[in-house]
Amino acid sequence: MNNFIKSLTVASLAVLALSCENESTSEAKTLDSVYAEQGRPVKTRTLEEDRFVSSLDYISTVKGIKESTGSSMISDAVEDILFDVGDYVEKNQTVILFPENNPSANYYQAEAGFKAAEQAYKRVENLYQNNGVSRQSYDDAKTQYEVQQANWENVQELVRVKAPISGYITRINVSPSDNVTPGTELFTVSNYDRLTANIWVNDRNIRELAVGQRVSARWEEEVIKGIVSQVDLAKDPKNKAFGVKIHLENQEHVIPSGVSADLSIDVGSVEKAIVLHRREFLSTGGESYVFLEKEGYARKQIIETGDKQGMYYLINSGLIEGDQLITEGLNLVREDEKIRVLNQIDPMMAKR
């Protein structure tokens, strides 16, 4: 009985499988007959000439065209910070204060020495103008005054760290009461109305670069423009590459100093060109080709690709403006097969 049930089950499955196979074959034949009669469905776009730009792409840190740091010259605790990040400061404006009673600064001694020398100089100067002292006495008093003045100014710089350039404070590295040592970088001032970037270029690409070429820099969603400002003529032995400097306009401060940005340098352009996305053509056996819609049929067309920019290719030959390029269904159509255009793709959708 069990053997009979097993045999019946196997037979049933075989019949079911054969039925499914016949149904699948029937469905395929039905689709083939529909395509043969009505044409295989595809989508196309009308080719239009477009501007093709060749570029070299790099990633580099961009920073203010002028950037400098204020550093500590003594060991002490920070007493006060007079500005915040983002504030604008003039050159020589005090940014950070240290205690005036720092032993190594000799602040009060230097102040007293300067004031004494100043008073002595003024007395001698008055006497000299009235022929009361010799020229030598006057010169000695003046020299002593200038020495004490320079000493006093140096001491003030020890406890009052000033902005080295005019610009915006882009970074503050310390807080009040922090203990620092000589050489500690306290803050950074940048003039980032313009940004600069340095890139290293290999032997193959350096010939394509020249001063004045246009550059785009992208950081997140922000894009600014600039130019190549310098192209080295000799390879740097350490980096084994050629140095290239770029200047970027950043008047609106949309890109902060110190971030990594994507740089794209325009090295050439074709004003009127046929440009295809990589998904719009096929390549086999070293040959590239497309399918065009001509009088309701798919016609294979050999093409020659040129420069590449991202996923877009310059087409050197094989296509002209006005050709009806098959863009969807490309991998399914066969040469000289009847096709049916479902809807026309807006040419602008294929542009960059």
289, 298 Cβ separation under 8 angstroms? no
The answer to whether position 5 is within a domain reads: no
Beta bridge partners of 293: 298
**What confidence tens digit (pLDDT) does each residue in 17-33 have?**
444 554 454 555 577 77
Q: What are phi and psi of 120, to 5 degrees?
A: -60, -40
Instruction: Give me the domain span that covers residue 107.
Output: 73-183
pLDDT in tens, 35-46: 777 889 999 999
Q: What is the pLDDT of residue 236?
A: 95
pLDDT in tens, 87-107: 999 999 999 999 999 888 888
Is the same domain home to 178 and 212?
Answer: no
We report the CATH number of the domain holding residue 145 as 2.40.50.100
> Which of 280, 77, 94 shows the shortest CA–CA distance to 187?
94
**Co-location of 151 and 177 in the same domain:** yes
Q: 3-class secondary structure for 148-204?
A: HHHHHHHHHHHHEEECCCCEEEEEECCCCCCEECCCCEEEEEEEEEEEEEEEEECHH
Choosing from 239, 269, 299, the residue where a domain stops is 269
Q: Residue 53: its pLDDT value, please?
A: 85
Residue 150 lies in a domain: yes
172 in Cβ contact with 85 (< 8 Å): yes
30 in any annotated domain: no
With helix as H, strand as E and coil as C, how does 49-66 read? CEEEEEEEEEEEEEEEEE
Residues 145 and 243 in one domain: no
Query: Taken in order 320, 322, 328, 333, is the CA torsion positive or negative?
Result: negative
b/e per residue 60-85 (b: at least 16 CB within 10 A): bebbbbbbbebebbbebebeebebee
* 102 and 147 co-located in one domain: yes
110 with 173, same domain: the answer is yes
In terms of domains, do 213 and 292 share one?
A: no
DSSP string, 32-93: HHHHHHH-EEEEEEE---EEEEEEEEEEEEEEEEEEEEEE--S-EE--EE---TT-EE-TT-
Considering the domain boundaries, does residue 27 fall inside one?
no
CA distance 271 to 9: 72
Query: Do 301 and 211 fall within a single domain?
Result: no
Residue 157 CB contacts under 8 Å (≥ 6 apart), including other chains: 73
pLDDT value at position 27? 52
Residue pair 288/303 in contact by the 8 Å Cβ criterion: yes
Residue 57: per-residue pLDDT: 92
Low-confidence spans in the chain with pLDDT less than 50: 1-11, 13-19, 22-23, 25, 346, 348-352
Please report the pLDDT score of residue 339 as a whole number. Answer: 93
Count of structural domains within the chain: 3
Question: What is the pLDDT, as a whole number, of residue 31?
Answer: 72
How many Cβ atoms are within 10 Å of 40's Cβ, its own excluded?
A: 19
Q: Residue 23 falls within a domain, yes or no?
A: no
177 and 220, same structural domain? no
Report the candidate in 103, 91, 92 with the shortest Cα–Cα distance to residue 157. Answer: 92
Burial of 162 (0-12, 13-18, 19+ CB in 10 A): middle
In a domain, 117, yes or no: yes
pLDDT at 344: 55
User: Which residue among 183, 218, 244 closes a domain?
Assistant: 183
CATH number at residue 284: 2.40.420.20
